[in-house]
Protein backbone atom coordinates (compact mmCIF):
# COMPACT_ATOMS: atom_id res chain seq x y z
CA UNK A 1 0.00 0.00 0.00
CA UNK A 2 1.31 3.47 -0.83
CA UNK A 3 1.94 6.09 1.84
CA UNK A 4 -1.13 7.96 3.10
CA UNK A 5 -1.11 11.08 5.26
CA UNK A 6 -3.02 10.73 8.53
CA UNK A 7 -4.92 13.95 7.81
CA UNK A 8 -6.42 12.23 4.74
CA UNK A 9 -7.84 9.47 6.97
CA UNK A 10 -9.69 11.79 9.32
CA UNK A 11 -13.44 11.29 9.09
CA UNK A 12 -13.23 8.30 6.74
CA UNK A 13 -15.84 5.58 6.97
CA UNK A 14 -14.58 2.10 7.80
CA UNK A 15 -16.09 -0.90 6.04
CA UNK A 16 -15.50 -4.62 6.44
CA UNK A 17 -14.39 -6.64 3.42
CA UNK A 18 -17.82 -8.28 3.57
CA UNK A 19 -19.56 -4.92 3.01
CA UNK A 20 -20.53 -4.28 6.64
CA UNK A 21 -20.20 -0.61 7.55
CA UNK A 22 -18.33 -0.49 10.85
CA UNK A 23 -18.41 3.26 11.52
CA UNK A 24 -16.12 6.28 11.31
CA UNK A 25 -12.39 6.39 12.03
CA UNK A 26 -12.01 8.01 15.45
CA UNK A 27 -8.27 7.68 16.02
CA UNK A 28 -5.16 5.57 15.39
CA UNK A 29 -3.00 4.08 18.15
CA UNK A 30 0.75 3.62 17.88
CA UNK A 31 3.76 2.34 19.81
CA UNK A 32 5.67 5.45 20.90
CA UNK A 33 9.02 3.65 21.07
CA UNK A 34 8.98 2.06 17.63
CA UNK A 35 6.56 4.40 15.83
CA UNK A 36 4.63 1.35 14.61
CA UNK A 37 0.89 1.83 14.13
CA UNK A 38 -1.21 -0.57 16.20
CA UNK A 39 -4.96 -0.11 15.79
CA UNK A 40 -7.60 1.92 14.05
CA UNK A 41 -10.09 3.11 16.63
CA UNK A 42 -13.52 3.09 14.99
CA UNK A 43 -16.63 4.79 16.37
CA UNK A 44 -19.53 2.44 15.50
CA UNK A 45 -22.39 3.89 13.49
CA UNK A 46 -25.91 3.94 14.91
CA UNK A 47 -26.94 1.06 12.64
CA UNK A 48 -23.77 -1.00 13.02
CA UNK A 49 -24.61 -4.54 14.21
CA UNK A 50 -22.11 -4.32 17.09
CA UNK A 51 -22.78 -7.82 18.41
CA UNK A 52 -21.83 -9.32 15.05
CA UNK A 53 -18.45 -7.53 14.97
CA UNK A 54 -15.57 -9.56 16.41
CA UNK A 55 -12.98 -6.82 17.04
CA UNK A 56 -11.85 -5.88 20.53
CA UNK A 57 -13.36 -2.71 21.98
CA UNK A 58 -12.05 0.09 24.14
CA UNK A 59 -13.75 1.35 27.31
CA UNK A 60 -15.99 3.67 25.23
CA UNK A 61 -17.23 0.80 23.03
CA UNK A 62 -15.16 1.75 19.99
CA UNK A 63 -13.73 -1.03 17.83
CA UNK A 64 -9.95 -1.54 17.88
CA UNK A 65 -9.09 -2.84 14.41
CA UNK A 66 -5.46 -4.01 14.02
CA UNK A 67 -3.69 -1.98 11.33
CA UNK A 68 -2.55 -5.18 9.61
CA UNK A 69 -6.24 -5.88 8.75
CA UNK A 70 -6.43 -2.78 6.50
CA UNK A 71 -6.87 -3.89 2.89
CA UNK A 72 -7.53 -0.62 1.05
CA UNK A 73 -7.95 3.10 1.58
CA UNK A 74 -10.05 4.94 -1.01
CA UNK A 75 -13.48 6.42 -0.35
CA UNK A 76 -13.66 3.99 2.60
CA UNK A 77 -11.06 2.29 4.72
CA UNK A 78 -11.65 -1.41 3.97
CA UNK A 79 -10.61 -3.90 6.64
CA UNK A 80 -10.48 -7.69 6.61
CA UNK A 81 -13.33 -9.34 8.52
Q: How confident is the model at residue 53 (pLDDT cuts 50, 70, 90)?
A: confident
Asked whether residue 23 is domain-assigned, the answer is yes
Answer yes or no: are the C-beta atoms of 54 and 20 closer than 8 Å.
Answer: no
Q: How confident is the model at residue 26 (pLDDT cuts 50, 70, 90)?
A: very high
Distance of alpha carbon 63 from alpha carbon 32, whole angstroms: 21
Asked whether residue 47 is domain-assigned, the answer is yes
Task: Tell me the torsion sign for CA atoms 76, 81, 67, 49.
Answer: positive
* CATH (domain of 33): 2.30.30.240
Domains of the chain: total:
1
Asked whether residue 67 is domain-assigned, the answer is yes
Asked whether residue 1 is domain-assigned, the answer is no
Asked whether residue 45 is domain-assigned, the answer is yes
Asked whether residue 39 is domain-assigned, the answer is yes
Range of the domain at 41: 6-79
Name the pTM for this structure: 0.85
Amino acid sequence: MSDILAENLSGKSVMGSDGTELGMLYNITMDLKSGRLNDLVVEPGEETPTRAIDYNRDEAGRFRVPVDRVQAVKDYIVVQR
